[in-house]
Structure 1
């Protein structure tokens, strides 16, 4: 596998077509591009926010899992944190107490090798967890716990990586290739995400209970949650990676993100809105824009976005796909969204339009059971994540009740992924047919059609 040089590009202002060229000698470089920036948009746009997700043809399982404080995982996370910290301290003390510089240098290299080997083990553990969930050997809760555990360990390993970098800097006549350390950081990024981190906070009692959307393919996983006034999602699709080559430059990586997320890119912040870091076999592109933050990882071999995380304040989310039911003086409105997306439930009095506080339950079309989501509160509003199949919302207030059955909207997949997958499908149709064709089975929830949502 060919390693890319470390290239850091701070894009205070950027256009979709870059004029900057990276260094020819492979050294690190920071570049600011001074081109006209788009105006800051103050109100939510009515354009679609695209997301990295799993195509319906590759979806294996999809569900929504409620999570709350859990003593078992909580103790496990505490033990893991303690273990990683003890190991890190022991490693640092061993290096600092080395009798000579040569021994100190070797110990630092040994520790970096150890982190690289552990990263390989985490990759295997993540793949195994998804495979077990798909096979029904792990529940959605158990998958969340395992992914959160992997996240916590990866963050701890990265902290040790940073400490080793500082120790190397303090060691006379010694340095570690910055590209190697940056590539290790990018690899550890593969196992972390804001939803996994929030799952740890929920299970340890540091945050309120929440409902997590879980969607998986054979090698990918997409998670989503509404937490602390924000909609947060993360996605990882290992099948979009090609580690055998590195041909995509950081300029091309930004172009790929600009084309894949046109609304986000066009509304990026005028100052410090875009940041690109290239290392190892991937490019990390981070964009702050008027409706939230996007972090997208572009594979240097395939030129595809294979990992993303998005954080969006609920106040910035608009929708054009509304379902309403009025009965017994109650008006129930559901701002529909795609599977795993931010779902808004609004309850008002049908006559006065005053908000109504009442308990809300949700049930899947294929199930006879309903789950309590919570209550709408004084503003009559309740946010959650959307199921992946048709669902029924039920609200009961005293002797009044209103029931609404609806479906999620189509997935607003990345522009480039939609094009690439269409080309892949066309290529398969023109290829020599095999004896049989199999597709991934959909688990407890499918992905039905519906009108597009604007969020």
Structure 2
């Protein structure tokens, strides 16, 4: 890995650019529905939608929302992978701690660090291979989630080894490992982890309830999202926005880029200086806690753009999106429309009294002509999922009464970086493989 200086800036005071940032409106207004029945009405969003990094529509190759359940095969694989990682970690630590000679101990530490770096490079290749195979229809959506969850699990194990090696180096007299090298490796391993991948592993292992996942890919990028019991989670990686051959972004510039791209988040951060940035090697991580959730944004030093993000947002903090309502047979069905992969809220009430109704809800996507049972709305009449990318139909049947609502997702409130990705025909499922390499110190 490239050994570069480490910069750590915590709770930075905003620069003039940051101070000038102002909340931005969603990128484009929602498209009005046509041919709707008289009982169908539409309202404007109740408040601003948080901007997101996404796959550019012109470069989108595949997009699918699919329900996932516990799967014994992947569950056993995850357990074996975790056990193997722990065994390898303990073996490495014990081998190094058993050596008294400082020179030999130092060689062992550097050798282990080299191996971790090489595995990080291999994970980059593996991640790109998963995207390429999915685009070529050689992997199913479930298989993509399984593979990305495996990559996530190995990256987390490698991070544990990195931390252990850092501590062993500190305990070794007259020896040190360049802090920039260690931090650059940490940022690289961050590339392969995320809240959606971790949640997919929990679902497939039976540790979390079945849920629906949105998977969207370009030639070198992947966007994942899902809804847990009470939280919307999202992670996006854009390989086209990485440029390891150049370096020159300062910590303040990284903060400026995030403030520019996420004005609503920046304005509502938990405290006036409630953001921190950690940088090393060829990328910077900017972390922000704000009144509606948490944002991790990664800025590439070469492209000077946000190339990866993860967002965690409690459902209770989300806006109502763009509500669309259908009333029939005494049932009032409201869908708070959102962008592809965004948090989609469905509400069912009695049209006369307004009381919530507990009933089964199904969703069908026009492009696939498939219909899936989402579940029951519960005592509050509400159920959450993630939005499909195209026209979809929500259906509720309660006894002899039925209500059906067909609608479309809204435009995605994207970052400025979304316009930089090269356009790719959505019919082209043979993308060229563009692997990213790193230089070891």
TM-score by length of 1: 0.86
- Name which of structure 1's ranges 383-392 and 45-54 shifts more when overlaid on structure 2: 45-54
2:418 & 2:104 partners in 1: Cα distance? 53
Which residue of 2 is the match for residue 266 of structure 1? 267
Which residue of 2 is the match for residue 84 of structure 1? 85
Which residue of 2 is the match for residue 226 of structure 1? 227
Structure 1: 5+ residue stretches without partners: 19-34, 39-43, 426-437, 444-455
Which residue of 2 is the match for residue 5 of structure 1? 5
Which residue of 2 is the match for residue 441 of structure 1? 427
2:138 maps to 1:152: no
Relative to structure 1, is the Cα distance of residues 37 and 240 closer, same or farther in structure 2, using a 3 angstrom cutoff?
closer
2:385 maps to 1:384: yes
Equivalent runs, 1:275-290 vs 2, <5 Å: 275-290=276-291
**Does the 8 Å CA contact 1:15/1:37 hold for their aligned counterparts?**
no
Q: 1:147: Cα distance to partner?
A: 0.1
Q: 1:250: Cα distance to partner?
A: 1.2
Relative to structure 1, is the Cα distance of residues 16 and 61 closer, same or farther in structure 2, using a 3 angstrom cutoff?
farther
**Does the 8 Å CA contact 2:330/2:351 hold for their aligned counterparts?**
yes
2:352 & 2:419 partners in 1: Cα distance? 47
Q: What are the superposed Cα offsets for residues 1-20 of structure 1, whole Å, 9 maximum, x if unpaired?
A: 965411110016535547xx
Which residue of 2 is the match for residue 187 of structure 1? 188
1:183 & 1:282 partners in 2: Cα distance? 8
2:336 maps to 1:344: no
Q: What are the superposed Cα offsets for residues 237-265 of structure 1, whole Å, 9 maximum, x if unpaired?
A: 00111110102111111101100111111
What SS does the aligned partner of 1:57 have? Answer: helix
Q: 1:419: Cα distance to partner?
A: 6.0
What SS does the aligned partner of 1:319 have? Answer: coil
TM-score by length of 2: 0.89
Which residue of 2 is the match for residue 431 of structure 1? none
2:131 & 2:264 partners in 1: Cα distance? 31
**Does the 8 Å CA contact 1:2/1:244 hold for their aligned counterparts?**
no
Q: What are the superposed Cα offsets for residues 353-406 of structure 1, whole Å, 9 maximum, x if unpaired?
A: 000000000001133331000110000000000000000000011111100000
**Greater relative contact order structure (CA < 8 Å, 6+ sep):** 2
Across the aligned residues of Structure 1 and Structure 2, the Cα RMSD in angstroms comes to 2.1
Q: 1:320: Cα distance to partner?
A: 4.4
Q: Runs (4+) of structure 1 moved beyond 3 Å? A: 1-4, 12-18, 35-38, 418-421
Equivalent runs, 1:72-111 vs 2, <5 Å: 72-111=73-112
**Does the 8 Å CA contact 2:2/2:181 hold for their aligned counterparts?**
no
What SS does the aligned partner of 2:59 have? Answer: coil
Equivalent runs, 1:401-440 vs 2, <5 Å: 401-414=402-415, 416-418=416-418, 420=420, 439-440=425-426
**Does the 8 Å CA contact 1:13/1:36 hold for their aligned counterparts?**
no
- Name which of structure 1's ranges 265-274 and 88-97 shifts more when overlaid on structure 2: 265-274
Equivalent runs, 1:140-179 vs 2, <5 Å: 140-179=141-180
Q: 1:442: Cα distance to partner?
A: 7.9
Q: What are the superposed Cα offsets for residues 11-32 of structure 1, whole Å, 9 maximum, x if unpaired?
A: 16535547xxxxxxxxxxxxxx
Q: 1:37: Cα distance to partner?
A: 13
Equivalent runs, 1:9-408 vs 2, <5 Å: 9-11=9-11, 13-15=13-15, 17=17, 46-270=47-271, 273-408=274-409
Structure 2: 5+ residue stretches without partners: 23-44, 430-441
